[in-house]
Amino acid sequence: MAGIVVIGAGQAGSSLVAKLRALGHEGAITLIGEEPVPPYQRPPLSKAYLLGKMDLERLFLRPERYYADHDIALRLGTPVSRIDRASKTMWLGDEAIGYDQLALTTGATPRRLPAAIGGDLGGVYAVRRLSDIDAMAPEFAEGRRLLIVGGGYIGLEAAAVAAQKGVIVTLIEAAPRILGRVAAPETADFMRALHASHGVTIREGVGLTRLRGESRVTGADLADGSALEVDFVIVGIGVAPADDLARDAGLTLDNGIAVDALGRSSDPGIWAAGDCASFVYRGQRIRLESVQNAIDQAESVAANMLGADMPYAPMPWFWSDQYAMKLQIAGLNTGYDRVVIRTVGAARSHWYYRGDEFVAVDAMNDPRAYMVGKRLLEHGTSPDPVALENADTDLKALLG
């Protein structure tokens, strides 16, 4: 029996196969990963792992023996080259593998700089895979000069790690400000000040013209006419859904693999979850690039593959660790028109409103604000902005 095959051995893929077994599925399960290592956590890669505070074994989502113990065939180190939907067959190298149901949890791939402007020079790195981090780790020596291209969370997290290792960091963002697509100006201001206090130079509204060097990067020419001498470069300009297999197989794409409320693609025998999948949320088709969504959506898909017929109902939340600051985000701030700032001692939170509706919160070293905000969103409750601004207000009372 061909059974269930899952392509993509990241957070979503690992969660999906584990949930299948937890729900009592007794049929064959195969999990296929392109990388040569078992499924691992990605968030600590550019933080605890790069800082040397977490070893490789602790990165693994589950001990490698887990898969054998639960009769899950783990196929690693070889990419799937093609899917034939008519025959329900895929090719792993030259090996043909059949499936009864297929799930795509292929994740996302980092956007890279064009080779024409030096993107393929040595010393230019992306932050996505274990191999990326292992390759760049020796670069993080005190006094070396790092250029980070991109002022999103990936770039800012890389800047924080580098600064803690004594690296001289310059971060450039072509847009008018950092975090322009994902956070309010108030959150960007907080993060900018945090990095400045650790010696990071942030230059906003400044794009990259080209990287200089023969075989390895030695400098950068910027769009404002200035030039930098650099020892290495990290590119954090976003990711794209890894949907090539789906495209070649003729599945419907729409900012990733388009799935319905159950997680099923345009082929009833093929499902998708995680960073590669787009779904309708509050009337808009979106992708959620987060660990939480990868787990929750994958577990929902696992249940629906077994006949649960339960629509996926996401509750978005995210986090970012930078220096000693933990940023926790609940909700999506799309369409917000007002930000309420709450400060209690060293704790700070930014509450987003769309009209009178509370839609998201950014909490900086304020776990109470995050937890209360998350519960308010789950209940569809919008707290009084005036009460929020008052530092004497007991946040838990807003849940009443």
Residue ranges per structural domain of the chain:
4-109+239-305, 112-235, 324-399
Hey, do 4-109+239-305 and 112-235 end up sharing a CATH topology, with the first three levels equal?
Answer: yes
Distance separating alpha carbons of residues 149 and 221, to the nearest angstrom:
12
* Residue 118 reports pLDDT greater than 70: yes
* Residue 119 reports pLDDT greater than 90: yes
Distance separating alpha carbons of residues 81 and 345, to the nearest angstrom:
55
Give the CA diameter of the chain: 66
Specify the pTM: 0.94
- The CATH code of the domain at 112-235 is 3.50.50.60
Nearest to 245 by CA among 90, 132, 356, 68: 90
Band of the pLDDT at 18, cuts 50, 70, 90? Answer: very high
The CATH fold assigned to 4-109+239-305 is FAD/NAD(P)-binding domain (3.50.50)
H-type alpha helices, 4-129: 11-22, 56-59, 65-69
* Residue 341 reports pLDDT greater than 80: yes
Quote the percentage of the chain above a pLDDT of 90: 93
Query: What contacts 24+ positions apart, CB below 8 Å, involve 342-346?
Result: 342/366, 342/369, 342/388, 342/389, 342/391, 343/391, 344/391
* Residue 129 reports pLDDT greater than 70: yes
Nearest to 196 by CA among 227, 229, 169, 167: 169
- pLDDT score for 358: 97
Band of the pLDDT at 260, cuts 50, 70, 90? Answer: very high
- pLDDT score for 207: 97
At the second CATH level, the architecture of 324-399 is 2-Layer Sandwich (3.30)
- pLDDT score for 271: 98
- pLDDT score for 124: 98
- pLDDT score for 249: 98
Q: Which residues pair with 171 in a beta bridge?
A: 148, 202
- pLDDT score for 48: 87
Range in 49-58, 108-117, 320-329 with the lowest mean pLDDT: 49-58
Q: Give phi and psi for 238, each to the nearest 5.
A: 100, 180
- pLDDT score for 51: 86
Tell me the pLDDT tens digit for each residue of 136-181.
999 999 999 999 999 999 999 999 999 999 999 999 999 999 999 9
- pLDDT score for 276: 98
Distance separating alpha carbons of residues 147 and 358, to the nearest angstrom:
37
